[in-house]
Structures are given as C-alpha cells and as structure tokens.
Structure 1
Amino acid sequence: MELAIILLVFLIAFRKDLLELRSFSLQNEQDKFILKLGLGLLGLALLVAGTDRFVQMLEIKYHPEILFLNDWLRSLPYNDLSVYFGYNSRILLRIIRAVYHYGFFVPCIFLIIRAVARRDLRSLSLLIFSTFAFHYAVHFPFYFFTEGHQIWYVKGIMVPLFRTISPLDHVFPSMHASMSVTSMLLAWRQPNMATRILYSIFCPLVIFSTFYLQIHWTIDAIAGASIGVAAVKFAEYATAQGWLYLIIARLNQTWALLRRPASKELSSRG
C-alpha cells in the first residue's frame, strides 16, 4: 500500500515526462541507444547489489574490520537525534518506515526513466557517474574495514521500528543520505518544477527517517551528504570530459573482438 502511494506521487510529478514515452520507437536507433543506457544503468544497480551481498560473505568469513566505531559514535554530542522524537503515532511511524524503505531507490529510478523518456543523454551520463557505482565504491572501504552499528543496536533499544538485526548493518557513512542528496541535486537541474519540489521534500525526509527510526547517527548523515555532493561534482567532470562516449566506444570494441570469428589457421589446430 505504501509503495503504491509513493509511486503514485512520483508518477504525478513526472507525468509530463512520462508522456514522452508514447513517441518512443525501437525502430529508431537513437531511441534504442538511450533505452540500452537506461537498462544498463539499472543493470549496474543490480550488479552493485549483488556485489554487496558477496562482500558481506567475505566479511563473515574473514572479519576484515580494523576500526570499531560504536563507542566513538555513542560519545559524540548530539549524535543521536532520536532522543528528541516521540513515537506515539502509528500512522506517522508507518509513513516514515515506507519513506526509509523505498526512498533509497525510487527517486533515482524515476530520474532514470525521465532521462530515457526525454532522450536526455546528459542526464543519463550524470546518473551513470553519480549514482550506484560511485556511492558503493566510496562507501565500500568504510563498510569493509570499519564496524559501526545502528543507534538502536548500540543502545540496546528494542522498539519495533523498521530495521534488521545484523552485525553487517554498518552505518558510517550513510548511503541513504548520500543517495538522497545526489538525487535531490540532480532533480534540481530538471525543468519540471513539480519534480524539483517533490525531491526537495522527499529526499530530506528520507534522511530524517534514518534518524527517527534510530538507524543513523548525525555524523553518518553528514558524511553521507558530503559523498552525495562529491558524487554530483564527479559526474559533472566525467560528463564534461565525455567519459561516457569513451566507455561506450571501448565496450563496443571489446564486444566486436569477442564476436570476431576465429581464423582458419587457429581453428584448424589441435
């Protein structure tokens, strides 16, 4: 139910952009190229998610952590904002749970769909270089070599909010915060005012949800937000340098080599 409502809100905000899909044609080479880029970006997101599961297996087996942050996180002043919130409203809690759960990927996916629908190659380039792969590459060393847990876990608070009980739920820095900031900054570049307003409200609410649900510490969100800004700056540089075209050209060359038939001399051996 909550996901349906969130999707409806985003569909309304993006309705003008999505209508452009009606003129999409697989017979048009440019449309096919844009579609491949969009699907490739979604595939990259799935690859990153799969890599994350593999890394967690390595953590369980080898215990690579060299820094343990729980005591430091707990000692910082104003690092636990959940002490200022009340938890008497079940409706509010349900809303915030949904925002946290779906807020990680829904904003980014709609930006991808919008870029494809508008045939906006620059926006796709910014998304490719600023989202999933960049964030995981930056977060990975922290998640692999440090151990820092969620607020409720460190404080031993067993309020039934939205969370999982796992020693692998690292918190520093917050990827929810970094992805939200990146999505918001990219949305601010869109000409659609409804999109800009929606992301200006929804993305900060995602970060707030991590505090309310006793998941992230203040320092987690600050570090994550910094990564989110850096991601957009990196994407701007990569896009201006034309890295997307270079990568596509290199992939096409590799694909052509793989498809090249073996010479008669090689095939006759053995």
Structure 2
Amino acid sequence: MCPNIILTEGYEYGSFHFLEPSFLHNYTDSTQFLPPGLIAITLFFLIYKYANPLWHQVIGWQTQYIQHIFQWNEFFDRIPLNDGAIFRFWQPEWLTEYMKWVYSYGFALSYWICLIYSFFSKDVKKLLRYALAGYLLQVPLILPFYNTILLQEVWYVHGVPDMLQRMLTPEEAFTTAWNCFPSMHTSIAFAGLLLSRREKNPWFRLVAGIYCGSIILSTLYLQIHWVLDVIGGMIFAYCCVKLADWIIDSKKVTGWIGSWERLGVYLSVKFGNKNHSLSSPGNRKKANEETG
C-alpha cells in the first residue's frame, strides 16, 4: 500500500500537549540540543512536504516500466487463513469506522507522535533513531520488494468491495491495491512500537502500543493485507530498527551530534546565557574547550 504522509487537522496540538511533561521534566540543556534538533526537525519537515508527491512518482514509474518477477496473488490466496478472516469475525459499525480512520490517517500519525515525543525529550539520538527506523530507512529498502513482487490487496484479489470506500476506477484499483509485501503500514507502526518499548514513560508506552497495534490490526480487519504481509512487515521493521541502532551508535554519527551540541553550548556562552548553559560540569567543560 502507498505510504501517504498526511497530518490531520487538529491533532498536532493534541500531540504536543500530551507530550509536554516529557519536555518539562527532562533537564538536558535545551541550548545544547537546539542546533542538531533544529536540523533534524527541518529534515523531517521537508520529508513531510515532499514524500507523498515523490511516492506517487515512484508508483507512476512502477506502472510504466516495472515488470514484476514474482506474481503472488494466487499463491497467497491458496494459503489457509492467510486472508486474515479470523480478524473479521466481529464487525460492529463503530469498530469499522475506527479501523478506517486508523488505517487512513494513523500511518503518518504513529510516526509523528514518536518524533514529537523524542523532540520534547531533547534527545538527538532518539529523534534520529525514530526517523531512520520509522521511515527514512524503510522507503529505499522496501522498494526492491515492491518492484519485484506483484501482490495485491485481499479485497481486490477476492473481488469484494473496498471497505475503505475509496471509489476507485478499475485502473486506479489495480495500482492502488498493489505494493503489499511486506506491509509498510505494519512496518512503520511496528518500528514505532518497538522503539516506544524503550521509553520510561508508561503512558507513552501504553498509548503507542495501543495505537500502533490498532494500525497493524486495521490492515487485516479491512481486508487490505494478507497475514504473511503483516508478518513480513514486522520482520522488516525489526531489521530497520537494528540498522538504525547501528548507524546512530556509530562513532561518526555520535561525533557529528557531539560537534553540534558543543556548538550550541558555545553559542549560549557567546551570547550571554551562561546561567542556563553552564548549569552542569559537562557543559562548562564543553564551553571551555570551544572558547579555549
């Protein structure tokens, strides 16, 4: 399924308000965090602005030029229980509406909630880890699967109505319903869930767990993804998290972050905010190193 980056109206304030305590009770030097934090946030804003049009360009390119090597529709349909029917034994209207909302908007929301939380915690490594594992690594690494495997959504293969009611033409349905293995809704949500398990805030762990879990379940409930799509997405997400850990904890990235943090301390001293920036021995040492 195409990973649309969408921010719904009104949730930005709610996200920041909910995550405010992590900012107020974390005593990391804000000035030290500011330079690398602003760079990271600017990068994520550009992703938000350009990712969706870029992805549709990729889909157009796939439609015109890609000849998939593997055709998996019939193969996946023959696997017992692979259509996820067990997740649709109870379908009240309120649950269906919730799942539709979660699937349509939760894809981006799960990613951004984690980024906002990490920003308020003033932890550059955490911010970059969420960004890499949750999206930046996933898009380029998932394209080889989508470019070689033709697998379409459950509802399309079964010839039943689209539960999302997207009112697609036959041509639009054909291309919208592919790019299924692995499930990117699942991989982004599961990456957020895995990383949220590392947080000390129990409320954030609870909310992230319920919400990210709902996104994964919605793909099966709405007859979008096959069970093996979801399993593949979870394995893919786990690999992206481990790769992000390796990158972020490398000496080069750690050194790059440290250089920007030292710049923040130096600027704080330079422009007179000494009481705040020199509140810890570590910051005084950094400032002395920069000022000689």
Pick the TM interval, shorter chain: 0.7 to 0.9
Give the match for residue 36 of structure 1. Answer: 39
Alpha-carbon shift at residue 99 of structure 1 (Å): 1.1
Give the match for residue 238 of structure 2. Answer: 229
Give the match for residue 214 of structure 1. Answer: 223
Q: Structure 1 vs Structure 2: percent identity of aligned residues?
A: 23
Retained in 2: the 8 A contact 1:183–1:199? Answer: yes
Moved more, 163-172 or 106-115: 163-172
Task: Work out the CA distance in 1 between the residues paired with 2:236 and 2:75.
Answer: 21
5+ long unaligned stretches in structure 1:
250-270
Instruction: Provide the secondary structure at the position in 2 that maps to 1:103.
Output: helix
Give the match for residue 20 of structure 2. Answer: 15
Give the match for residue 145 of structure 1. Answer: 148
Task: Work out the CA distance in 2 between the residues paired with 1:177 and 1:89.
Answer: 23
Cα distance change, pair 5–162 in 1 and its aligned pair in 2 (3 A): farther
Cα distance change, pair 56–71 in 1 and its aligned pair in 2 (3 A): same
Alpha-carbon shift at residue 10 of structure 1 (Å): 4.6
Alpha-carbon shift at residue 243 of structure 1 (Å): 4.5
Give the match for residue 124 of structure 1. Answer: 127
Cα distance change, pair 73–118 in 1 and its aligned pair in 2 (3 A): same
Instruction: Provide the secondary structure at the position in 2 that maps to 1:94.
Output: helix
Aligned residues: 244
Alpha-carbon shift at residue 229 of structure 1 (Å): 0.7
Retained in 2: the 8 A contact 1:70–1:149? Answer: yes
State the TM-score, normalizing by the size of structure 1: 0.79
Cα distance change, pair 203–239 in 1 and its aligned pair in 2 (3 A): same
Task: Work out the CA distance in 2 between the residues paired with 1:6 and 1:53.
Answer: 25
Give the match for residue 171 of structure 1. Answer: 180
Task: Work out the CA distance in 2 between the residues paired with 1:53 and 1:111.
Answer: 25
Equivalent residue runs for 1:16-165 within 5 Å: 16-17=21-22, 19=24, 28=31, 30-82=33-85, 85-86=88-89, 88-158=91-161, 160-162=163-165, 165=172
Task: Work out the CA distance in 1 between the residues paired with 2:80 and 2:254.
Answer: 47
Alpha-carbon shift at residue 244 of structure 1 (Å): 3.3
Retained in 1: the 8 A contact 2:87–2:220? Answer: no
Measured against aligned partners, the alpha-carbon deviations of 1:226-253 in whole angstroms (never above 9, x if no partner) come to 011111111111111145357789xxxx
Instruction: Provide the secondary structure at the position in 2 that maps to 1:72.
Output: helix
Moved more, 209-218 or 236-245: 236-245
1:200 aligns with 2:209: yes
Instruction: Provide the secondary structure at the position in 2 that maps to 1:167.
Output: helix
Root mean square deviation, CA, Å: 2.9
5+ long unaligned stretches in structure 2:
1-7, 259-292
Task: Work out the CA distance in 2 between the residues paired with 1:97 and 1:5.
Answer: 18
Measured against aligned partners, the alpha-carbon deviations of 1:82-133 in whole angstroms (never above 9, x if no partner) come to 3552465222111111111122111211221222222201202212321212
